[in-house]
Amino acid sequence: MMKDVHPNYTEIKVTCSCGNAFTTRSTMAKDLHIEVCAQCHPFYTGKQKVVDTAGRIEKFKNKYGSMVR
């Protein structure tokens, strides 16, 4: 590898808004603050909800219900 071409790869601390913190390595030279992590994201916690606005799911089932198994 060529010298002085690649950025420094250092260890940084990542802090989520839920309070979870972990360390990782990055070319960023400062700590990182994020809003959502794997500890608080609804998809990973199992609290994900399907929002049915205006009965779209029922409308789909009525229209394609016989074809979808």
41 is in an annotated binding site: no
CA-based diameter of the chain, in Å?
65
69 is in an annotated binding site: no
40 is in an annotated binding site: yes
- Measured between alpha carbons, how far is 59 from 69 in angstroms, rounded to an integer? 16
37 is in an annotated binding site: yes
∠ at Cα 41 (33, 47), nearest 5°?
155
Residue numbers in the known binding site are 16, 18, 37, 40
Residue numbers in the known binding site for Zn(2+) are 16, 18, 37, 40
